[in-house]
Amino acid sequence: MKAALAIANRDFRGFLGTPVGWIAACILFLVSGLLFTIVTNQLLLRGEAVDPVADIMGSLIGFLNYINIFVVPIFTMRVMSEELAQGTFRLQAGAPISSGEIVAGKFLGIMFYFAVISGLLLIYPLYVAVFAEPDFKVMSAGFAGLVLNIAAIVAIGLFISSLTQNAVISYLGSVFFIILFLFSAYVKGVPEWYQRSVNLLDLGNELSRGILKTSSIAIYVAIVAIFLFLSRLVVETKRWRV
């Protein structure tokens, strides 16, 4: 586990030591800031009663969940595909650590980064709290949903990017796969449990309305576990081929 934390720590610093981390953060803050201003203004101009949680934070988090489908794979492509292409993967592959530790480290590294970003996004609820009295329980559920969605996308992205050395293919492949994954809920005839499980955006919205169910959490945990396990398998085979 020490090695996993060492990898996570290195990757996390790596994001902040290169423009990638800062640009991605800029995109997220620019989009969320614009959206926050527009939504708030529109609602206030309309002069109706505003529910700060459902109307403002709900739409903000819902939109961020969309955006993350395109932002998160920027990180997953870096930690796997680029390392495979540049040969730095050999450093981990040649160390006396398990493939599980490598995957866990990569996963945690990206999660550390997004934990910081999500933490900074808390400025919006704090701002709302100055002017209204939002329900913090509901808002926390929404933020939990944001982080869980990121975790699911990171796990899927890690798996896709471990398959290829080409960062562009990795990025496009991850985005494409995640969209397919979400859309597979709408295929005719799929069982209901499946429909519910893969529709991460709906789950995220549900959470942002404060509907926190054990089953939703279980779905996220299962998705992360399945894709991390698949990544581990790929990494294990790659270790014999680099």
Partner 1 sequence: MIEVKDLVKLYGERKVLHGLNFSVGVGRVCGFLGPNGAGKSTTMDILAGLLGPSDGTAKICGFDVVTQTREVKEVVGYLPDNPPLYKEMRVAEFVHFVAKLRGVSAAQRKFAVERVLNDCDVTDVSTRLIGNLSKGYRQRVALCSALVHQPQVLILDEPTEGLDPNQIVHIRELIRKLAKDRTVILSSHILSEVQATCDDVIIINQGQIAAQSSLADVGTGKPSIVFSFADKLETALSWFKEKTFVSKAELFADKPNSLLVNFKDDFYGDARTANLAQVNSQLVQQGFGITSVYEHRTGLESLFFNAIKSQSSFVGGQA
The residue ranges that bind partner 1 (CB under 8 A) are: 2-3, 6-7, 10, 13-14, 17-18, 86-98, 239-242
Nearer to partner 1, 101 or 206 (CB): 101
Q: How far is the CB of 134 from partner 1 (least distance, A)?
A: 40
Length of the chain: 242
Phi–psi pair at 212, nearest 5 degrees = -105, 110
Q: How far is the CB of 87 from partner 1 (least distance, A)?
A: 5
90 neighbors 242 (Cβ within 8 angstroms): yes
57 neighbors 125 (Cβ within 8 angstroms): yes
CA angle 177, 182, 186 (to 5 degrees): 125
3 neighbors 105 (Cβ within 8 angstroms): yes
75 neighbors 113 (Cβ within 8 angstroms): yes
Q: How far is the CB of 74 from partner 1 (least distance, A)?
A: 15
* Residue 203: strand, helix, or coil: helix
Q: How far is the CB of 166 from partner 1 (least distance, A)?
A: 18
Nearer to partner 1, 14 or 210 (CB): 14
Nearer to partner 1, 103 or 150 (CB): 103
Q: How far is the CB of 120 from partner 1 (least distance, A)?
A: 22
Nearer to partner 1, 10 or 209 (CB): 10
Nearer to partner 1, 63 or 112 (CB): 112
Nearer to partner 1, 58 or 78 (CB): 78
Q: How far is the CB of 14 from partner 1 (least distance, A)?
A: 6
Phi–psi pair at 94, nearest 5 degrees = -90, -5
Q: For the beta carbon of residue 222, count every other beta carbon within 10 angstroms.
A: 12
Q: For the beta carbon of residue 119, count every other beta carbon within 10 angstroms.
A: 11
Q: What is the DSSP string of 24-53?
A: HHHHHHHHHHHHHHHHHHHHHHHTS---II
Nearer to partner 1, 18 or 215 (CB): 18
Q: Which residues make Cβ contacts (< 8 Å) with residue 70, sequence separation at least 6?
A: 175
Q: How far is the CB of 88 from partner 1 (least distance, A)?
A: 4
